Structure 1
């Protein structure tokens, strides 16, 4: 990731300014005599008494050797704790098991479960690498009593690498900052398949001494650089490899002939490069009620927010580019039916700048519950698009928003209702409505959650004639409308969960070839049911099963596997005091289906109805362990690629799409290590 001097200087200036600002006070209120009190706050922001230890015989502070740390996601009030479990590798691996890529980590990814894009308003239309991105929704805002650092390093076959760094600390009780960086590089098993991602995030969380003013700052940048090979020229040659290495096969894009696999190469000669930089600043001022707590002869001041003024500023600069510096006109015509310039250089490029100002007011009906509030606001969004290097176009949006949340103090109800309506501008008429209600039925009975979501959205801007990406049939497409009904029942005591979603889709946008877009005007439905269960087989043996069943009605342009399941049989337990172990066998399987093909020029999977993918179950062996703060993961994956017709040779890969084989035998070794300073 290339970071300019001005970006580094800007971050340091913001951090330095907030650091100085934070020196003026902390979360502790002051008593009537002006001395610091023994009042702090709990995870909900409510005041609690601090153990000051004023007795003549003071006890040792337990925080000297331990840490109290929790976090909440941006735009959430629910406190969460750090996950130290080791039984599921995918809680730490960015690509979930329900996703598949083009055969190499970091390449364009798609979910095997139906997950339509349901977001109103402006969208540039590029989502091939969303699963690898840092976003506001997955940003954590921490509070910690001690500086906390986490280091992670994963090494896979073919020099695949994943590096992750996290550091967070409180300079004062009322000021926290965190820095997070993630780098991944995968040269791939095929030619022209290297993929590299750089993600950086910086956050601060400050609240004034009198607890009336607060500010959250989030800065993050994402860069995805992925070479595109267009798939193999002839997949049948996989059965006649001389060295059992698919790297020797020719691909449809990229440099033909001899190529080298370089684990340090992050340059994209033929492929996609997506960049995004975002600054998100939210500040608020509270009006409320002052109160005090009397303990012995001391009075402690408390503040209860009842009314809040809030301003959110979001600045995003993004660019999306496909380029082929060594384009072969004959192969473009043969494999993609596309005529390109004689210069042998192909490039498509869109850039966007998005500045959004949102002004809101909030009320808190219950002074003792900050998780219950009513919010209303209005926002102005200014958009500036630049296409190639010459043409520019400006747009704007004005939208209203409202929200109600109530997570009751007794933890019985958790209600969320929100909506957005675009009043004027580029996306006028777009809207989103969401309602979710969760109820605790009892400690033994578990939780029931039901909800509804409806989104009416304009087609993404990539379908606009101004976009430089090659879509042959741009037209005045209608707004997409999506309805989702969902429900889930969870019983943590017995270790199981079942959920279901019902989708009703109209004016559904999709592609049916490399450069051709379509819209399905006929309403169609998708039903998705999911179940999870942990079976305790014996004292140390556990069986974890996850099952997804999905079905469409009619003949929609959507192909999905009827069944997707993952099963883990693990030997688990706590041994030798500090050793936590989870080792066993993992299987993932989906039924045969007509998997989507892929357009490297648009970064889009597209609908096809001619070729069916029938794969063996994916079989992985794993050894996960934790010793105090050290976590280790050793995995041998894709044992299913064993080809018995050639002896003991792993040369029979599964396919993720018709032209893209998955990797064969693959090993991964990773460590996750956290430190308390």
Structure 2
């Protein structure tokens, strides 16, 4: 059903999009009613200031400018960003980064090859295997644009894989903007019981009164993630001797019932996982401050400088986590997973409702710098959990928050510090503390950032609390404590970026098998270093390299590749007036290691110390191009799967990201991103 709607929706969008004119590389200029734009410009905080004589000089537009008429700020951030129209990296537009592995099909559960512990205090349900596919509050962009802007994207891959992306935003007035995003993903997959179907919706808006005293932020997010589960193939050695050359022939550990289907119109999940969540976020504030005015030759602008802000934030999330198997084979459950309770059907479902109210006060020490403020607040949280028809949970928390930001007006120093501390309720004693300091070393040198983060948190709810999911309850877990020390150095003249993270972890909670959580009380640490560099090999050829090094100490229950690298060598340039081209090959490689296994029944990647990867480097070739605002890519992926031995010659030697989960063979993808402005 969703696929039919998705295809119809795509054609409607294309027809709608042709009613817009394309746009490319224009500088944004926000206007006020009746403004004389020859005399007025705006500072980096959007306030009108008198234009200098030098700025009155006509400036020609740079045809290679990599920005368009939109700028935006991420949720709870003051830094201005511009949309990127570069075409060198397909992954920049793809939800799954190269640092992640999935289970062999786009949209299935995924894990990071880099160490990334969960570092948020307080309540957490514990289901994170599909986080990378979700829309989040942190990723919400608040736009400012002079005219309505629409971006349409479509991806088509092998085995009827498809993805649709839509973004539309516009300013109804200079003080009111809204944005709408929609993403649809459907991938039937290569193997049995592997189809995925994800729908993501996000709507957000911002409004500020004309006197600039009162403002409203609103965000609505809906994520509906559905993924069939097969538990892995039973005998992966048969990949080299398939009768029909089709991996769908292989029997899987679960999902072998009559309900399996490769029809890309079928989005039903007979055996698999479904995660749903809907979030409503509402923040409003009222400012007290000083009035001022700016007088030009013919117009007087009324200005307002806030000094004290009263702010209220409301958030509500309704989340469901489901695993179901309507056609289980009990013998397979026993043989492969040692699970004896499978009957006519299997279904686990947890539902959580999370409501928070925050009252806070902000002060702005300098009237001319809104990027410097001190915030203090208190948060009241109410949680309701429903596990089956007779079991539920009711939790509550009270915690205080504090935050200090200061981005100096000369933009040479940037300080960010925040903290949370739970003073009452079920998670009393949880806390987080974060501070970062960045320094601009000049346009020709770059920037340096260093910081510290410490989180003390109660393990996720699923680890040691009653739940519908078949988790073996153990002893009470202690609070996890994780410290992160980090530094980043960016040198634009060398086109070089260096990063470093040092983690110190105690009471680390993890799953040890398909159903049992454990906790490592011994302290351990992990050093993680990374670098990105662009080499100019010749006038037309560029080499992009990314490298990560990881080294654990203390024998932790965490297995990581010591080296992860991605390299792209591409022919790039502007070959005709409006044609920009990037074509070449891409190689990803990580050293052999013992990756986490996956439990579909509890939705967790778990520690194992037996299976070790022995993968070839992932090799892809690509052709990306841009003509004005139209960007397209063509990719042929997984050339490394070529098998020249035996009778079954072909792309039958895929890499494995998880034990019993083979990846894709040769894979073709085509897609485009098209921007329109009214």
Per the normalisation by structure 2, the TM-score is 0.91
Cross-structure match for 2:567: 567
2:447 alignment partner in structure 1: 447
Aligned to 1:116: 117
2:424 alignment counterpart = 424
Deviation at 1:67, TM superposition (A): 6.5
The 2-side partners of 1:323 and 1:675 are apart by 42
Contact 2:464–2:477 at 8 Å: present in 1 too? no
Do the aligned partners of 2:629 and 2:674 also contact (CA within 8 Å) in 1? yes
Q: Which residue of 1 aligns with 2:133?
A: 132
Separation (CA, whole Å) in 1 of partners of 2:97 and 2:179 = 25
CA gap 1:203/1:49 in 2 versus in 1, 3 angstroms: farther
For 1:258 and 1:453, the matched residues in 2 are separated by 48
CA distance in 2 between partners of 1:122 and 1:138 (Å)? 20
- Residue 291 of structure 1 is matched in structure 2 by 292
Measure the CA separation in 2 of the matches of 1:469 and 1:654.
31
Counterparts of 1:178 and 1:40 in 2: how far apart (Å)?
Answer: 25
Q: Deviations over 1:601-630 (max 9, x none)?
A: 111111100111110000000000000000
Matched, 1:332 2:333: yes
Query: 2:49·2:294 contact (CA, 8 Å) conserved in 1?
Result: no
Q: CA deviation at 1:573?
A: 0.4
CA contact (8 A) 2:193 2:261 kept: no
Structure 2 vs 1, CA of residues 404 and 334 (structure 1 numbering), >3 Å: closer, same or farther? same
The structure-2 alpha-carbon separation of the partners of 1:329 and 1:174, relative to structure 1 and needing over 3 Å to count, comes to same
Whole-Å separation in 2 of the counterparts to 1:376 and 1:443: 35
Task: State the partner residue of 2:413.
Answer: 413
Structure 2 equivalent of residue 610 of structure 1: 610
Q: Which residue of 2 is the match for residue 395 of structure 1?
A: 395
Matched, 1:379 2:375: no
- Find the aligned partners of 2:280 and 2:586 in 1 and give their Cα distance: 40
> 1:343-362 alignment to 2 at 5 Å?
344-362=344-362
Displacement of 1:41: 4.8
Equivalence for 2:170: 169
2:465, 2:473 within 8 Å by CA — same for their partners in 1?
no
* Contact 1:28–1:40 (8 Å) recurs in 2: no
Check the 8 A contact 2:597/2:659 in 1, yes or no.
yes
Query: How far does residue 46 in structure 1 lie from its aligned partner after superposition?
Result: 2.3
Which residue is 1:12 aligned to? none
Residue 16 of structure 2 corresponds to: none
Partner of 2:675: 674
2:587 counterpart residue number? 587
Are residue 68 (structure 1) and residue 69 (structure 2) matched? yes
Q: Kindly indicate whether the alpha-carbon contact (under 8 Å) linking 2:641 and 2:653 is maintained by their aligned counterparts in 1.
A: yes
Q: Is the 8 A contact 1:44 1:78 kept in 2?
A: no
| Alpha-carbon distance between aligned partners in 2 of 1:532 and 1:305, rounded to the nearest angstrom | 41
1:540 aligns with 2:526: no
Question: How much does 1:294 deviate?
Answer: 2.1
The 8 Å contact of residues 508 and 521 in structure 1, kept in 2 or not, is answered as: yes
Provide the C-alpha distance between the structure 1 equivalents of 2:321 and 2:38, rounded to a whole number of angstroms. Answer: 53
Q: How far apart, in 1, do the equivalents of 2:175 and 2:656 lie?
A: 52
CA gap 1:50/1:187 in 2 versus in 1, 3 angstroms: farther
Secondary structure of residue in 1 paired with 2:239: helix
Q: 1:512: Cα distance to partner?
A: 1.2
Query: What residue number does 1:19 align with?
Result: none
Q: Distance in 2 between matches of 1:402 and 1:603?
A: 34
RMSD of aligned alpha carbons = 2.2
- Helix, strand or coil at the partner of 1:314: strand
Residue 471 (structure 1) aligned with residue 471 (structure 2): yes
**1:77-476 pair list within 5 angstroms:** 77-256=78-257, 259-296=260-297, 298-342=299-343, 344-476=344-476
1:620 aligned to 2:620?
A: yes
Query: Deviation per CA, 1:191-212, whole angstroms, max 9, x where unpaired?
Result: 0000111000111111100001
Contact 1:587 1:618 in 2 (8 A): yes
8 Å Cα contact 1:27-1:208 kept in structure 2? no
Which secondary structure state, in structure 2, belongs to the residue aligned with residue 652 of structure 1?
Answer: coil
Q: Matched residue of 1:383: which SS?
A: strand
Cα distance per residue 1:373-431 (max 9 Å; x no partner):
11110000011111123322211110000001111121111110000001111111000
Q: Distance in 2 between matches of 1:156 and 1:581?
A: 21
User: Secondary structure of the residue that 2:81 maps to in structure 1?
Assistant: coil
> In structure 2, what is the Cα distance between the partners aligned to 1:390 and 1:514?
26
How many aligned positions are there? 640
Per-residue CA deviation, residues 17-52 of structure 1 (Å, 9 max, x unaligned), is xxxxxxxxx984899xxx99986755423223599x
Pair 1:39–1:278, CA change in 2 (3 A): farther
Cross-structure match for 1:643: 643
Return the offset for 1:443.
Answer: 2.2
Instruction: Tell me what 2:497 maps to.
Output: 497
Q: Deviations over 1:225-253 (max 9, x none)?
A: 01100001111111211222211100000
State the SS of the aligned residue for 1:238: helix
The answer to whether the 8 A contact 1:29-1:210 is kept is no
> Is 2:496 the partner of 1:480?
no
Counterparts of 1:474 and 1:287 in 2: how far apart (Å)? 53
Instruction: Confirm or deny: 8 A CA contact 1:285 1:310 kept in the other structure.
Output: yes
Q: Deviations for 1:469-508, whole angstroms, at most 9, x for unmatched residues?
A: 1111333111100000001111012100111110011000
For 2:188 and 2:294, how far apart are their aligned partners in 1? 62
The alignment's TM-score, normalised by the length of structure 1, stands at 0.91
Aligned match of 2:26: none
In the aligned structure 2, how far is the partner of 1:471 from the partner of 1:48?
Answer: 62
Deviations 1:292-335 (A, max 9, x none): 12223543221111111111100100010111111111111100
Q: Distance in 2 between matches of 1:613 and 1:203?
A: 43
2:14 matched to which residue of 1?
Answer: none
Unaligned 5+ segments in structure 2 are 3-29, 53-57, 62-66
